[in-house]
Amino acid sequence: MRSRDAARRTIGWDIGGAHLKAACFDDDVLRDVAQWRCELWRGLSHLHEAFAAARERFGDNTTCTHAVTMTGELTDVFEHREAGVAAIVAATVRALGPDVGFYAGREGFVDASAASVRWGAIASANWLATASVVAQRLYDAVLIDMGSTTTDVVPIAGGRVVARGRDDAARLAARELVYVGVVRTPLCALAQRVRFRGRASNVMNELFATSADVFRLTGELAPAHDQAATADGAPRDLASTRRRLARMIGCDARDATDDEWLALAREWRSSFVALVRENVEAALGAAGVPRDAPIVGAGCGSFLVRECAAGMKRRYVEFADVVAAAPEWRDGAGLCAPAVAVAILRTSNA
């Protein structure tokens, strides 16, 4: 039989292809938020290891109520998404025990036995969890969750999520899912030409550098969010970062000054912001969200979401403020917004 204290604990989990994120609530109050590197595309053993790290932080998770959402089923270690959902469900129950609810969007939470039938609703629904919580608290809004790998653009109107797409394919077509993030995106995906020393140059379509190199050099990427492996496997120090950036235009780091490489990083940054904003404006143009609706920012790239909001002359709201996170958990709540959201949704549906 559970203890009275344990029965009050709910942990929300967001199982991605690159990270495992968790938000722990006691008595409906956020008490802890954490993220672990989890390179799921290398195999399920990485998820097992991340759950083990979570157990060290949270204690015996098997006595808690769990709410789970995922995007990791997309990783190429699985034959297809259905197989990915099934494998992640099995690994999750093994790690967390039987009291696990898997978020299936508008269908609510389902247990492991129903997950195989509901896999299509479970797959990559984390954006809907976050947006649903925002819609409960803001009548009109635009959620932009910019993470390490992707950016979700979710319109909310009249207290309802009015996104046109529901699965990844439809959301990509509707420009509500933009496959760029501030850590893992190859730079060659952002622009085919950049300016360097006053002259435009083609770029090398190779995985020589990633968006983390840009935002590390500009000083905007928090070290705690800079967890992914670098493109060349070398360290994350600034000298190595400049070397990777230089390769993108066929140079060596010694060919220019530190200030010139910083200027190049800012060129890449401009391309990144322009790409995201183009998609946001296109998605909102089709959604009918009022012009005075605020933009709600989440994810490790929220510093750029704030910039987009200013450029679009919309009020900016942090996701942490939407859920009234205590000061010590504000950064974590934004970083792990889907994990926070599924815990809130399961608690409210209990």
116 shares a domain with 26: yes
Q: What CATH number should be reported for the domain holding residue 116?
A: 3.30.420.40
Residue 299 DSSP SS3: coil
Mean pLDDT of 134-148: 97
Q: Once rounded to an integer, what is the mean pLDDT over residues 103-114?
A: 96
Give residue-wise pLDDT tens across range 5-33. Answer: 444 899 999 999 999 999 999 988 999 99
pLDDT digits (tens, 9 = 90+) for 284-323: 888 889 999 999 999 999 999 999 999 999 999 999 999 9
Which residues form the domain of 63?
A: 4-127+324-349
Domain final position from 243, 274, 305: 274
Asked whether residue 318 is assigned to any structural domain, the reply reads no
Residue at 112 is within a domain: yes
Please check whether residue 237 lies inside any domain of the structure.
yes
pLDDT band at 175 (very low <50, low <70, confident <90, very high): very high
Residue 317 covered by a domain: no
In a domain, 166, yes or no: no
pLDDT number for residue 202: 98
147 close to 221: Cβ distance less than 8 angstroms:
no
Report pLDDT for 63. 80
Q: Are residues 108 and 193 in the same domain?
A: no
Determine, yes or no, domain membership for 215: yes
For residue 239, what are the contacts with CB-CB under 8 A and spacing of at least 6?
A: 253
Is residue 114 located within the same domain as residue 9? yes
Residues 243 and 332 in one domain: no
Q: Do 109 and 194 reside in the same domain of the chain?
A: no
End of a domain among 238, 259, 274? Answer: 274
DSSP 55-84: HHHH--GGGSEEEEEE-GGGSTTSSSHHHH
Same-domain pairing of 337 and 259: no
Quote the pLDDT of residue 2: 37
pLDDT greater than 70 at residue 226: yes
Q: 179 CB contacts (<8 Å, ≥6 apart)?
A: 149, 150, 151, 172, 185, 189
In a domain, 344, yes or no: yes
218 phi/psi in degrees, rounded to 5: -80, -10
Query: How many domains is the chain partitioned into structurally?
Result: 2
Shared domain for 259 and 340, answered yes or no, is: no
Q: Give percent of the chain above pLDDT 70.
A: 98
φ/ψ region of 219 (left if φ > 0, alpha if ψ in -120 to 50, else beta) reads left
Does a structural domain hold residue 172? no
CATH (domain of 252): 3.30.420.190
pTM for the predicted model, two decimal places: 0.94
